[in-house]
Chain A
């Protein structure tokens, strides 16, 4: 069996040749297309580390058969996530080992696309399918708020209507001495 199909991955038309019908989109992305942005912590649909946007909808790519994706649009962390969201995760300490990060970022992009200013409970509900073993999620919630604020400010500034689709803006500059954007609980007295 040999199946050739075309996908639009992060804005680029790519051809994948499959020799197994059941191959998951995650496998195709990682092993055939060399796009390792989507992660593989379980390959059973339980961890969310492989989350991508498929035609704008957040899915766990390990449970999607590539064979069903002919002509469809796939956005991984590289193409789905606004710069403010990435910047907020980096600045807030929401990234430790980072293995959960690409999937979480896609879920956050999806959430902010639907709900530009989510409350804590809405954030928790939206991210319940993304496991993180390192952070205890506290900084992740902080980062989502920061990203929401930054995006709202940006949209007000540019007068951009609506919030969807989210064009990825440039990645944060690599500046190790960047002053920290999210205050720690000690300095903020957030306790």
Chain B
């Protein structure tokens, strides 16, 4: 008679449990090329879908003639606005985006019609043959003009004290610009829709939030939610780009119309037009400080370009407003943030979500103040740093560790790299492409601090669901974990298994595919999945463990479902911006060292060191990967990445012209990771994926300023900004 399996006494230091770095469950398939991404999906009798998009940022649609397209052999369906089965609009927060444009288009690339055909080439050909009669109109592309006209998705002020009553010794006023950044995940938007015999549809798609997709898709198809079954397909990165719908409703419409499976897949150019971007920003900041550099007041006017449709602009505005001064104490604040409505591409979620733009501005301001006062950039930040017990400008108390002063101090133990006595040509800015011997190369060092809210804010009912079943398989207890959380690459599945091992003392954990047959997990965004779905898996495991103490596992499986919620939050007051709107705050500090060739306008980042407080380290390797990757995207915004807009048109929708960092652009990255646990969070963790994306950008630009003495108030910094040739 074997020993009955006993529930463990937590916490377990389980092999492969919390705090370790087990190999990700999908690693083997990924390194063997066998992992099935959304773009790899196939089905028998499959058709290819394709989207007809408006070439005009703003136009009236006078008519759509599908006859020529329909006449092409191999074309199975051509659909327009009139074919949208039920609700004609969808959206994440507000249903304002047409499934297919009806009488007008409001951004370049807006979907107008759909085609399904036997193969991709025929589908593309047919899409070109759809004749849309446009009356082209002048696009409205100036977000500041939109604000003047009151055309905004949201205006959020923050007011505390009265800046005009202070008596500053020094005032710095600057205007900052942040260009439009793209998430550029490598996996293209893609999915497969298969009509089911009951009149419903099965979707396989790479998305960040299955249940939100379902809530938007079903009403447009006119189907009950249980007739639309969505399973996660392999995701090739996300970074916010898969938060909004792309192919979902379109391929479902084509599948339902033709009765055949339909695959859709964007190419890179279409991908750049087919998902939202990071909001470009224009920001006017005024900081006043006393003679010691202590902040007396901050005034800021921040215009974010929301583009044509609402997407998540509402929440991005709230973040920009509540985080507008960064992790610094200040008693007098007048901040206004607007999310403008224009005929530019819709902007929405991207890693850092409203925190990135303001971080570039407030950190640049701190450096400007330090400059005026002749104190060091570290010192000015230390003098104003928040800590546990400080208040955000929303009045919210920081009630968990926020050891910014300590974090800033850590850099003294990590000296900046020395300049090599003999420079290799490869080490020059521009690498082997540098045509000089480095005569014009100057070095600079800069710092950046980012403060990011973790989880959803402002009263949103943010929860995640986990189902955990423990059962004996071949006499061994195995935990089956089922959630709808999106594994976008961050390693969340690894963490789910780690938690199950720690809580249940099992070795084997099976992860069920994420789908809509289990409750919502919320989105893989806002650095929230470790906290939220991690919390849900932990709670479900605890419940299973509890039941396990009462009976023998040999009598049958034990299962529990738990919903996990973080603490309640409040909306920001519409006039004063006050309110406990956030769940958790996270800090990251970067130091960058750069070499700038002032003759050629080239920058090489030679050092990028991060100090981040993560509460508790749950998986060292995955965590480091998040900080490295987040820093790389911050570097991209600092010196490379911008979707160039020209009267509403994207000028560089390709990897030839939209440059993301290569392995040559990235310096070695040192990390110093602090663990000051947040008692309110599962295991004391603090969300970690976004903060480094905030702080890397201002640190790099500060280093370039330090090297060149140029003001540099716009990112990305381009060669012409460095050599003075516009």
Q: Which residues in A have some Cβ–Cβ distance to B below 8 Å? A: 20, 30-31, 34, 36-44, 46-47, 49, 76-78, 81, 86-87, 89-93, 95-102, 105, 120-121, 123-125, 127-141, 171-178, 180, 182, 184-187, 191
Nearest-CB distance from A161 to chain B (Å)?
27
Nearest-CB distance from A108 to chain B (Å)?
11
Which residues does chain A contribute within 8 Å of B389, judged by CB atoms? Answer: none
Could you list 28 examples of A-B contacts with CB < 8 Å?
Answer: A36-B37, A36-B40, A41-B187, A49-B186, A77-B31, A78-B32, A78-B33, A90-B24, A90-B31, A93-B625, A96-B237, A98-B30, A98-B31, A98-B236, A99-B37, A99-B185, A99-B186, A100-B186, A128-B662, A133-B237, A133-B629, A136-B628, A172-B23, A184-B21, A184-B620, A185-B624, A185-B670, A185-B671
In the assembly, what is the distance between CA of A140 and CA of B623, in Å? 15
Instruction: Evaluate contact between B23 and A131: CB separation under 8 angstroms.
Output: no
Which of A40, A89, A91 is within 8 Å of B39, CB to CB? Answer: A40
Q: Which of B187, B509, B622, B663 has the most CB of A within 10 A?
A: B663
Instruction: Evaluate contact between B654 and A191: CB separation under 8 angstroms.
Output: no
Nearest-CB distance from B333 to chain A (Å)?
34
Instruction: Evaluate contact between B620 and A186: CB separation under 8 angstroms.
Output: yes
B10-69 contacts to A, CB under 8 A, are 15-16, 20-28, 30-37, 39-40, 42
B652-681 contacts to A, CB under 8 A, are 654-656, 660-664, 666, 668-673
Q: Which of B186, B509, B633, B669 has the most CB of A within 10 A?
A: B186
Beyond A39-B186, A93-B621, A184-B623, 16 extra complex contacts between A and B, CB < 8 Å: A36-B40, A39-B37, A40-B39, A96-B237, A98-B26, A98-B489, A124-B663, A125-B426, A132-B186, A134-B489, A136-B629, A174-B28, A176-B22, A180-B20, A180-B21, A182-B621
Nearest-CB distance from B258 to chain A (Å)?
19
Residue B488 is within 8 A (CB to CB) of chain A in the complex = yes
Instruction: Evaluate contact between A135 and B625: CB separation under 8 angstroms.
Output: yes
Nearest-CB distance from B36 to chain A (Å)?
7
Residue B98 is within 8 A (CB to CB) of chain A in the complex = no
Instruction: Evaluate contact between B23 and A176: CB separation under 8 angstroms.
Output: yes
Instruction: Evaluate contact between A176 and B654: CB separation under 8 angstroms.
Output: no
In the assembly, what is the distance between CA of A91 and CA of B31, in Å? 11
In the assembly, what is the distance between CA of A185 and CA of B672, in Å? 8
B interface SS class: loop
Nearest-CB distance from A106 to chain B (Å)?
9
B626-658 contacts to A, CB under 8 A, are 628-633, 654-656
Which residues does chain B contribute within 8 Å of A175, judged by CB atoms? Answer: 23
Which residues does chain B contribute within 8 Å of A90, judged by CB atoms? Answer: 23-24, 27-28, 30-31
Which of A97, A176, A178 is within 8 Å of B237, CB to CB? Answer: A97
Nearest-CB distance from A38 to chain B (Å)?
8
Residue B491 is within 8 A (CB to CB) of chain A in the complex = yes
Nearest-CB distance from A44 to chain B (Å)?
6
Which of A78, A121, A141 is within 8 Å of B426, CB to CB? Answer: A121
- The residue of chain B having its C-beta at the shortest distance from the C-beta of A185 within the complex is B671
Which residues does chain B contribute within 8 Å of A133, judged by CB atoms? Answer: 184-186, 237, 239, 629, 633, 660
In the assembly, what is the distance between CA of A127 and CA of B665, in Å? 11
In the assembly, what is the distance between CA of A162 and CA of B401, in Å? 55
Q: Known contacts A41-B186, A78-B33; is A95 also within 8 Å of B27 by CB?
A: yes
Which residues does chain B contribute within 8 Å of A135, judged by CB atoms? Answer: 625, 628-629, 632
Which of A46, A100, A123, A171 is within 8 Å of B32, CB to CB? Answer: A171
- The residue of chain A having its C-beta at the shortest distance from the C-beta of B183 within the complex is A133
Residue B706 is within 8 A (CB to CB) of chain A in the complex = no
Which residues does chain A contribute within 8 Å of B672, judged by CB atoms? Answer: 191
**How many chain-B residues does the 8 Å CB contact rule pick out?**
76
Residue B714 is within 8 A (CB to CB) of chain A in the complex = no
* 0/1 interface trace, chain B 493-527, chain A, CB 8 Å (1 if under): 00001000100000111000000000000000000
Residue B698 is within 8 A (CB to CB) of chain A in the complex = no
Residue B720 is within 8 A (CB to CB) of chain A in the complex = no
Nearest-CB distance from A177 to chain B (Å)?
4
* 0/1 interface trace, chain B 283-309, chain A, CB 8 Å (1 if under): 000000000000000000000000000
Instruction: Evaluate contact between B32 and A86: CB separation under 8 angstroms.
Output: yes
Nearest-CB distance from A69 to chain B (Å)?
19
In the assembly, what is the distance between CA of A100 and CA of B30, in Å? 10
Residue B7 is within 8 A (CB to CB) of chain A in the complex = no
Residue B167 is within 8 A (CB to CB) of chain A in the complex = no
Which residues does chain B contribute within 8 Å of A177, judged by CB atoms? Answer: 15-16, 22, 501, 507
In the assembly, what is the distance between CA of A176 and CA of B31, in Å? 15
What 3 A-B pairs have minimum CB-CB distances, sorted nearest first?
A97-B489, A37-B33, A136-B628
In the assembly, what is the distance between CA of A49 and CA of B186, in Å? 8
Which residues does chain A contribute within 8 Å of B673, judged by CB atoms? Answer: 185-186
- The residue of chain A having its C-beta at the shortest distance from the C-beta of B507 within the complex is A177
In the assembly, what is the distance between CA of A50 and CA of B199, in Å? 38
Which residues does chain A contribute within 8 Å of B623, judged by CB atoms? Answer: 184
In the assembly, what is the distance between CA of A108 and CA of B666, in Å? 18
Which residues does chain A contribute within 8 Å of B23, judged by CB atoms? Answer: 90-91, 172, 175-176, 178, 180
Q: Which of A78, A127, A130, A137 has the most CB of B within 10 A?
A: A137
Nearest-CB distance from B486 to chain A (Å)?
11
Nearest-CB distance from B49 to chain A (Å)?
15
Nearest-CB distance from A58 to chain B (Å)?
15
In the assembly, what is the distance between CA of A102 and CA of B37, in Å? 12
In the assembly, what is the distance between CA of A42 and CA of B187, in Å? 9
Nearest-CB distance from A109 to chain B (Å)?
12
Nearest-CB distance from A20 to chain B (Å)?
7
Which of B620, B621, B629 is within 8 Å of A134, CB to CB? Answer: B629
Residue B235 is within 8 A (CB to CB) of chain A in the complex = yes
In the assembly, what is the distance between CA of A96 and CA of B368, in Å? 38
Instruction: Evaluate contact between A44 and B654: CB separation under 8 angstroms.
Output: yes
In the assembly, what is the distance between CA of A24 and CA of B664, in Å? 28
Nearest-CB distance from B232 to chain A (Å)?
13
- The residue of chain A having its C-beta at the shortest distance from the C-beta of B27 within the complex is A90
Q: Which of A34, A37, A128, A177 has the most CB of B within 10 A?
A: A177
Q: Known contacts A46-B654, A91-B23; is A138 also within 8 Å of B186 by CB?
A: no
Which residues does chain B contribute within 8 Å of A47, judged by CB atoms? Answer: 186, 655
In the assembly, what is the distance between CA of A99 and CA of B625, in Å? 15
Instruction: Evaluate contact between B15 and A139: CB separation under 8 angstroms.
Output: no
Nearest-CB distance from A4 to chain B (Å)?
18
Residue B617 is within 8 A (CB to CB) of chain A in the complex = yes
